[in-house]
Amino acid sequence: MRNNNSKEKKQEQVGRKWCQLKQKEQIWISSLLRDSYIKFVLERERKPSKSEKEFIVACAYLDIEDRGIGITVNEVRKYFESKIEKYNNSIIKAGLEPYNWK
């Protein structure tokens, strides 16, 4: 009986929105996305293209699924897109922007 309840709870949590996540989960996901974006910019010395942004989200989503956090990829993508400008500003503020960065 107990197994059935835990399976039902997992199924309920699959399609959660960003605001429905626990604060620890939100912090972990946001730091994962931020670190991935900044690492990309520093390694390639440019901002990622649209397809490369999708790749960053996809890689992060695999880690999110491995951790068992129930959120849709669309919610992760929406959050990531909303924070890109903030990530860019943090790179500039730290003085880490590449010389040819526009």
Say if 62 falls within a structural domain. Answer: yes
Smallest Cα–Cα separation from 29: which of 93, 90, 83? 83
Give me the domain span that covers residue 32: 23-93
Say if 4 falls within a structural domain. Answer: no
- Supply 53's token pair: 């942004």
- Give the phi and the psi of residue 16 in degrees, each rounded to 5: -75, 155
Task: Specify the pLDDT at position 93.
Answer: 87
pLDDT tens sequence across 7-41: 555 544 568 888 889 999 999 999 999 999 999 99
Say if 10 falls within a structural domain. Answer: no
What's the mean pLDDT when you consider all of the chain?
Answer: 86
Percent of the chain exceeding pLDDT 90 equals 60
Non-local CB neighbours of 21 within 8 Å, separated by 6+ positions: 29, 69, 71
Question: Which pTM value belongs to this model?
Answer: 0.81
